[in-house]
Amino acid sequence: MPVVLVSLIRRAVWLVGGLGALGLLLSACAPSSGPTPVGFTPTAPPPVAEATVAGPAPTVVVPLTPTAAIDWTEFESRTPDGLYERGRPDAPILIRDYSDFL
Amino acid sequence: MLRIEPVLLAEYVRTGKVKLQFWHILDFPNSVQASAAAECAGQQGAFWRMHDVLFQNQDRLWRADEAVLTELAATLGLDTAAFGACLAGGEMHERARAVDRATKAQGVRVRPTFDINGQRIQGSPPLEQWRQLLDRLP
């Protein structure tokens, strides 16, 4: 009788151990199902280096009136190199005037 | 361009078709003084108005000293104290010399010279030629 009892206990231990191993195996094979992040914050883009230019910053006057009303001869601005320009900033024709005042 | 510039301004710059860009050439002893005066006026937002006044008074510029240039600045209503200090400082003289070097580095040997959207014109063409050039560009 004791022999039979010991045998039953051993089988029960093996059964419990086998079920535990099977559970571990199944959990390892199952797809990840962790919690979905809430309040996801996008990663900030990497900083972009800005080109540096010599000379003073351009001085551009922002027109307050519609284009048709602007007299572009009064519109004075500077290039990044500090050259003075006169006229509509995006005019299709650029005339470089190389001159001496004398 | 002195005589035809008012026409180009009225017909092409005012309407937004053309933009002018000024490059100094310093060919005479007093050129740098005149160019510095324009740059100093530019510090007060009046480069082009001084440019116009300088060309209108070109005969006076050959021997123009600081007093004459300050007098011209006064006609534009500029702050003459600031203008005089700018001229005396010499920084704008160096600025004009730097632009002159850049001009000559681009192969400019004749004054005036113009680049019209990259097309080089030496000397000052008559008004009709200007109109032909500018009217056929977009």
Strand ranges, E, within A1-102: 76-78, 84-86, 93-99
Half-sphere exposure of B32 (CA within 13 A, CB side): 14
Q: Is the pLDDT at B123 greater than 70, yes or no?
A: yes
Whether chain B has a CB inside 8 Å of the CB on A62: the answer is no
Helix (H, G, I), strand (E, B), or coil: what is residue B90? Answer: coil
Q: Which residues of A touch B28 (CB under 8 A)?
A: 100, 102
Say if the Cβ atoms of A73 and B138 lie within 8 Å: no
Query: How confident is the model at residue A85, as a pLDDT?
Result: 98
Whether chain B has a CB inside 8 Å of the CB on A59: the answer is yes
Whether chain B has a CB inside 8 Å of the CB on A11: the answer is no
Specify the higher pLDDT residue, A26 or B130: B130
Query: How confident is the model at residue A49, as a pLDDT?
Result: 39
Residue B76 contacts residue B49 (beta carbons within 8 Å) = yes
Which amino acid type is present at position B48? W
Place of tokens 């080089």: B120
Helix (H, G, I), strand (E, B), or coil: what is residue B99? Answer: helix
- Report residue A86's pLDDT band, with 50, 70 and 90 as the boundaries: very high
Helices first, then strands: H and E counts in chain B:
8, 3
Paired tokens of B61 = 């510029």
From the CA of A48, how many Å to the nearest CA of chain B? 30
Note the pLDDT tens digit of each residue in B5-52.
899 999 999 999 999 999 999 999 999 999 999 999 999 999 999 999
Q: Which of B19, B57, B101, B119 best probes binding to A when mutated, by most A CB atoms within 10 angstroms? A: B19
Closest by Cα among B64, B66, B63, B65 to B86: B66
Query: How confident is the model at residue A56, as a pLDDT?
Result: 52
Helix (H, G, I), strand (E, B), or coil: what is residue B111? Answer: coil
Query: How confident is the model at residue B138, as a pLDDT?
Result: 80
Mean pLDDT across chain A, nearest whole number?
61
Query: How confident is the model at residue A39, as a pLDDT?
Result: 33
Closest-CA residue of A relative to B11 is: A73
Helix (H, G, I), strand (E, B), or coil: what is residue B120? Answer: strand
Whether chain B has a CB inside 8 Å of the CB on A88: the answer is yes
Give the integer Cα–Cα distance in Å for B30 and B114.
22
Q: Which residues of A touch B1 (CB under 8 A)?
A: 97, 99
Please, what's the b/e burial string for B66-95 (b: 16 or more CB within 10 A of its CB; e: otherwise)?
eebbbebbeeeebeeeebbebbeeeebbeb
